[in-house]
């Protein structure tokens, strides 16, 4: 069989010439008499060979050698590449070639720490669901003794008739006000952008050519500080989406103990905007706040609600098949199917709850020696006692956050067998329902022991943790060291060198203490920390804020939204300077120069804030987790400066960090 190394590869960006039929094997003068042409091999063998190609660029080059190989790669090569290299990302419904490119780009950007961060808040057009009016500017809530503590949820709605057409929905709380963002993505939206005027592009589209619209809602009589929203959950539609266009259902819990199901229609005209709500019967006195809510992922979803009085209630979620016109203004309350009070000490409280499977609910409490309880659930109620309790080896502690791993996990054949918890001691523990141990693995940061307030898993590849201080998020690689299925070409040798270095970091003994042994300071889980505070103090929103909430629309989305005190930060795992990062599914390459702001005609000044710099893009700081005595702080430089350095115009400027995006430099060179 001919070696793949002898193939005359074309450049990946050269189109296939349909007139040429010469195969790679026939063009090679080094072929031996016993060699076999690739074009003579059956597709089954070729697809087996393809699984050994290291990256998408190699597969693209192979597909351009002849018509036959192009057809094999098109019919099954890209599919097998995605299945073998990104086994936890199979939920990405798209053309497999586009999926391979999008996932490869996303993996490369995570490896290179390619982060573009912005503060986000409602911008024109802003629609009020209460009055159906449209506003040009959002007014921040007033009356808070401190900045509001946001709740977040998001998801992506795919159109079954067109997999490239999507809407991303974000729900966020700002005190007693609910904020909703609808983002339309896809080729149709891109064509719409191309036909629009410059003014419309500036007003209705973002920097990735996505069309966005914001909506606000406030329950009548809600007051800041008293009726603040404490929990948010979208009701996900079925595989065919909602029966009504622009329909969304959101469960909202408040500090006063109110629990409501809000039905909204997110159109762009007054006739296409509406909002009605139903109430859940909580049977508690006013002032007993809703601590947490979650909705099961099933055809007949259930709502679990945890309250400040240690109560846990289970509700049926009404069918979304009803139209909004069928829901009366004064709907009868929805009664719970079961109610239990957790048998815990008076000084112990419920912090969070989450369905880890359609029939299992995890509840985190504290302080307690067993801070994680798992209850069985059904349409009739909870199990009388927890089916499992997880502790921290006899230590009294509190657990604040939960995260489940995808059901397709190779380590878990059934949904809900493996999940994560994070709490007061700053350790993220991996719990396995099949194991008698309290936890089977841990992730920890040797440089910071702040409590874990929030978590977001990204498929089975990465875990993002929100810290309790310094507006800090931590990123862990969930893949085993040395067992990564995909390496970006530029980092391949660098990562292999790290994986071959022995290390005991993030490996715990049974009592939760790191195992003693030789330590070279490297982290085999590729953990690193990112400060969400911008380097420019004039851009500070909250310098020492916890990261209260994290959300991502989908496991393969390049966007991550963090909720900090009095604001929101969106992290796009995409480059602001490299056009190669144009994602065919999620992100169009950023428009340069970016606009000064929606609805603004103000010209940007020259100099440091000149035309090569987008003032909305934040310059952040990061460092790798290590046990070395001295940590190296990396900082982001302005987009314009990084672009100049990349183009050879930045003579004398600080060099970049090897293996990182070109915006990162050592803080000593700033």
The pLDDT, as a whole number, for residue 664 is 95
Rounded Cα–Cα distance for residues 541 and 543 (Å): 7
Domain for residue 186, yes or no?
Answer: no
Task: Using the predicted structure, report yes or no on whether residue 161 has a pLDDT greater than 70.
Answer: no
Task: Using the predicted structure, report yes or no on whether residue 33 has a pLDDT greater than 70.
Answer: no
pLDDT band at 363 (very low <50, low <70, confident <90, very high): very high
Domain for residue 230, yes or no?
Answer: no
Task: Using the predicted structure, report yes or no on whether residue 338 has a pLDDT greater than 80.
Answer: yes
Using the CB atoms, write b or e for 603-631: b if 16+ within 10 Å. ebeeeeeeebbbebbbbbbbbbbbeeeee
Phi/psi of residue 13, each to 5°?
-100, 15
Q: Quote the domain boundaries for residue 29.
A: 4-85
207 burial (CB, 10 Å; 0-12 / 13-18 / 19+) is: buried
Rounded Cα–Cα distance for residues 89 and 664 (Å): 28
Give yes or no for a contact between 466 and 565, defined as CB atoms under 8 angstroms apart: no
Which of 93-97, 530-534, 550-554 shows the lowest per-residue confidence on average (mean pLDDT)?
A: 93-97
Domain for residue 229, yes or no?
Answer: no
**Residues 6 or more apart whose Cβ sits within 8 Å of residue 343:** none
Domain for residue 44, yes or no?
Answer: yes
The two three-digit tokens of residue 28, written as one number: 């090679």
The two three-digit tokens of residue 419, written as one number: 């999940």
Rounded Cα–Cα distance for residues 265 and 246 (Å): 5
The DSSP bridge partners found for residue 373 are: 363, 389
pLDDT band at 88 (very low <50, low <70, confident <90, very high): confident
The pLDDT, as a whole number, for residue 163 is 59
Domain for residue 18, yes or no?
Answer: yes
- Longest C-alpha distance within the chain, in Å? 87
Rounded Cα–Cα distance for residues 151 and 349 (Å): 19
* Helices and strands of the chain, counted as H and E runs: 9, 35
Rounded Cα–Cα distance for residues 57 and 22 (Å): 21
pLDDT tens column, 614-660: 678 999 999 999 877 678 999 999 887 766 655 555 545 667 899 99
Rounded Cα–Cα distance for residues 662 and 575 (Å): 9
pLDDT tens column, 401-459: 999 987 654 544 577 889 999 999 999 999 999 999 999 999 999 999 999 999 999 98
Q: Where are the beta strands (DSSP E) in 45-131?
A: 116-120, 123-128
The two three-digit tokens of residue 250, written as one number: 């959101």
Domain for residue 67, yes or no?
Answer: yes
Give percent above pLDDT 70 in the chain: 76
Give yes or no for a contact between 163 and 94, defined as CB atoms under 8 angstroms apart: yes
Give yes or no for a contact between 260 and 233, defined as CB atoms under 8 angstroms apart: no
Phi/psi of residue 549, each to 5°?
-150, 150
Query: Region 366-394: what's the mean pLDDT?
Result: 94
pLDDT band at 486 (very low <50, low <70, confident <90, very high): low
The two three-digit tokens of residue 18, written as one number: 């349909």
Query: Crossing angle of helices 43-50/78-85, nearest 10°?
Result: 40
- For the chain, state the CA radius of gyration: 26
Domain for residue 272, yes or no?
Answer: no
Look at the chain and report how many structural domains it folds into: 1
Domain for residue 107, yes or no?
Answer: no
Element (H, E) at 162: strand 162-174
pLDDT band at 257 (very low <50, low <70, confident <90, very high): very high
Output the DSSP codes for 258-278: -EEEEEEEE-SSGGGEEEEEE
Rounded Cα–Cα distance for residues 243 and 299 (Å): 15
């Amino acid at each position: 069989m001919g070696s793949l190394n002898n193939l005359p590869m074309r450049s990946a960006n050269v189109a296939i010439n349909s007139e040429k039929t010469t195969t790679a094997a026939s063009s090679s003068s080094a072929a031996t008499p016993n060699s076999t042409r690739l074009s003579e091999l059956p597709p089954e063998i070729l697809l087996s060979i393809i699984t050994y190609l290291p990256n998408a660029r190699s597969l693209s080059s192979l597909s351009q050698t002849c018509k036959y190989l192009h057809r094999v790669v098109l019919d099954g090569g890209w599919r097998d590449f995605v299945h073998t290299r990104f086994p936890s990302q199979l939920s990405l419904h798209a053309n497999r070639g586009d999926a391979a490119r999008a996932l490869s780009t996303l993996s490369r950007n995570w490896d290179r720490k390619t982060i573009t961060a912005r503060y986000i808040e409602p911008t024109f057009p802003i629609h009020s669901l209460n009055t159906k009016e449209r506003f040009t500017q959002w007014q921040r809530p007033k009356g808070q003794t401190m900045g509001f503590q946001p709740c977040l949820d998001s998801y992506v709605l795919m159109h079954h008739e067109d997999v490239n057409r999507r809407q991303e929905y974000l729900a966020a709380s700002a005190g007693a006000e609910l904020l909703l963002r609808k983002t339309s993505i896809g080729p149709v939206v891109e064509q719409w952008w191309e036909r629009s005027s410059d003014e419309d592009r500036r007003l209705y589209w973002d920097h990735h050519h996505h069309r966005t619209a914001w909506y606000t809602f406030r329950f009548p009589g809600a007051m800041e500080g008293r009726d603040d929203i404490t929990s948010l959950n979208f009701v996900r539609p079925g595989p065919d989406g909602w029966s009504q266009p622009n329909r969304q259902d959101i469960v909202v819990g408040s500090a006063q103990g109110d629990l409501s199901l809000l039905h909204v229609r997110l159109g762009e005209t007054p006739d296409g905007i509406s909002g009605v709500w139903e109430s859940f019967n909580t049977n508690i006195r006013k002032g007993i706040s809703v601590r947490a809510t979650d909705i099961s992922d099933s055809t007949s979803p259930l709502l679990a609600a945890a309250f400040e009085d240690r109560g846990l209630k289970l509700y049926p979620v009404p069918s979304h098949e009803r139209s909004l016109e069928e829901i009366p203004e004064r709907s009868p309350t929805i009664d719970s199917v079961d109610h239990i009070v957790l048998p815990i000490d008076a000084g112990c409280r419920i912090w969070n709850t989450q369905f880890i499977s359609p029939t299992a609910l995890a509840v985190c409490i504290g302080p307690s020696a067993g801070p994680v309880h798992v209850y069985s659930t059904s349409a009739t109620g909870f199990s009388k006692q927890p089916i499992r309790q997880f502790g921290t080896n006899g230590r009294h502690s509190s657990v604040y956050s939960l995260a489940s791993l995808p059901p397709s996990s190779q380590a878990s054949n059934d949904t809900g067998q493996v999940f994560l918890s994070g709490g007061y001691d700053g350790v993220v523990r991996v719990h396995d329902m099949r194991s008698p141990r309290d936890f089977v693995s841990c992730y920890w940061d040797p440089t910071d022991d702040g409590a874990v307030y929030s978590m977001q898993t990204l498929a089975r590849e990465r875990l993002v943790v929100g810290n309790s201080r310094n507006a800090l998020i931590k990123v862990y690689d969930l893949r085993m060291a040395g067992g990564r299925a995909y390496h970006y070409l530029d980092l391949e040798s660098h990562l292999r060198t790290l994986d071959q270095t022995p290390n005991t970091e993030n490996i715990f003994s049974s009592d939760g203490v790191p195992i003693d042994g030789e330590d070279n300071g490297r982290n085999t889980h590729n953990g690193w920390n990112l400060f969400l505070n911008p380097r420019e103090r004039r851009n500070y929103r909250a310098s020492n804020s916890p990261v209260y909430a994290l959300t991502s629309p989908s496991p393969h989305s390049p966007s991550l939204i963090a909720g900090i005190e009095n604001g929101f930060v969106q992290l796009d795992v995409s480059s602001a300077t490299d056009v190669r990062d144009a994602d065919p599914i999620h992100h169009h390459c950023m428009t340069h120069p970016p606009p000064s702001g929606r609805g603004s005609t103000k010209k940007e000044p020259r100099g440091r804030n000149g035309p090569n710099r987008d003032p909305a893009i934040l310059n952040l700081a990061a460092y790798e987790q290590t046990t070395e005595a001295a940590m190296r702080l990396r900082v982001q430089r302005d987009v314009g400066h990084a672009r100049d350095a990349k183009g050879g115009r930045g003579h004398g400027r600080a060099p970049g960090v090897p293996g990182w995006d070109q915006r990162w430099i050592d803080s000593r060179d700033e």
